[in-house]
Amino acid sequence: MTAKNSLAQNRRVLITTPFPTPDEVAAELGIPPKRVAELRQMIAEIRAEDASRARGRSPAKRQPAKPAKKK
């Protein structure tokens, strides 16, 4: 028995396999196409909410600061 696997534990491994696509992953996990579409819709809604929240915070939407009152 070699110590190969123990030594590997202490270093960083390099992944050379291609990055799987979402469609490949959905097929591998057995997620039906209809549910994939629903999940994509859910993700789109989350992103839209994020974008809307971010716009609400953008400086362009802020009210201009009121001029200081003269004493």
Partner 1 sequence: MAFTKTRHSGFINIPYAKRYEPIYLAFIAGIAGHGLVPSAAVHDPSSRYQLDRIYDLIAGSQFSFHDLSWMSLDRKSPRTPRLNMAFELGLAVAIARAAGSTHEWFVFDTVPYRLDKALSDLGGIRPRIHDFTPEGVLRALMNALARQEHRPTLAELLEIYREVEKGARRIKRTYSNDLFDTRPFKELTFAAIEAAYRFITSLSKS
Q: Kindly state the smallest distance separating residue 27's Cβ from partner 1, in Å.
A: 10
For 63, phi then psi, to 5°, come to -70, 140
**Short-list 21, 47, 50, 19, CA closest to 36:** 21
d(CA 41, CA 35): 10
Judged by CB, which is closer to partner 1: 5, or 63?
Answer: 5
Q: Kindly state the smallest distance separating residue 23's Cβ from partner 1, in Å.
A: 9
Q: Does 60 bind partner 1 (CB under 8 A)?
A: no
Selected binder of partner 1 within 42, 48, 51, 55 (CB under 8 A): 42
